[in-house]
Structure 1
């Protein structure tokens, strides 16, 4: 976000839209203003980076925002939570997936089989 001059605007988005939801889901974790330590766009393609191995994020919670359309711009992809045997696939354009980081929610990026999938990722740490 900093490289494209959008970091300050992203913090406004976190404050106005994400923080109220975050306070309901992750009660007790608050920081005014919100802090997002890492913010970046990930590109998945069948030829270059089609998936991401299982890992835990280094954040209190993570936000993934779908930047394009499943079954139109790409096929496959999604997020699989290993501990819970749960997949989130076909996220609609602009929709957000929010999940805890660190140790409790190991997850992986499922293979993108066709086209190019883009997601915006933000590692949020309201307690920093």
Structure 2
């Protein structure tokens, strides 16, 4: 069920979620990295470096650097496209799915506690 929030309430929720996320998870994702991760997990695949760069309006090296960090954290993997070696396909991981599931749970719990 949608909840109507004022901009101030929405920002308060985002603030509370990000503070809790910092306390409960050692990963330190930038907003750009989180946007990339959400794109990979919420939008059906396939995902490529080129496609993510176009979607987010950034360069391929920006996406590559973000994926390097997220790969080190086990959130995504990459492999060359067998059909077109110029493309790098980004794959989801179990750790990445669990990370986002916990983040979603945290958003729900925080939203409930702030609206009650």
TM bracket, shorter-chain basis: under 0.3
Q: Which structure features the higher share of strand residues?
A: 1
Structure with more of its chain in helix, by fraction: 2
TM-score, scaled to structure 1: 0.26
TM-score, structure 2 length as denominator?
Answer: 0.28
Structure exhibiting the larger radius of gyration computed from Cα positions: 2
Using CA pairs under 8 Å that are at least 6 residues apart, name the structure with larger relative contact order, 1 or 2.
Answer: 1
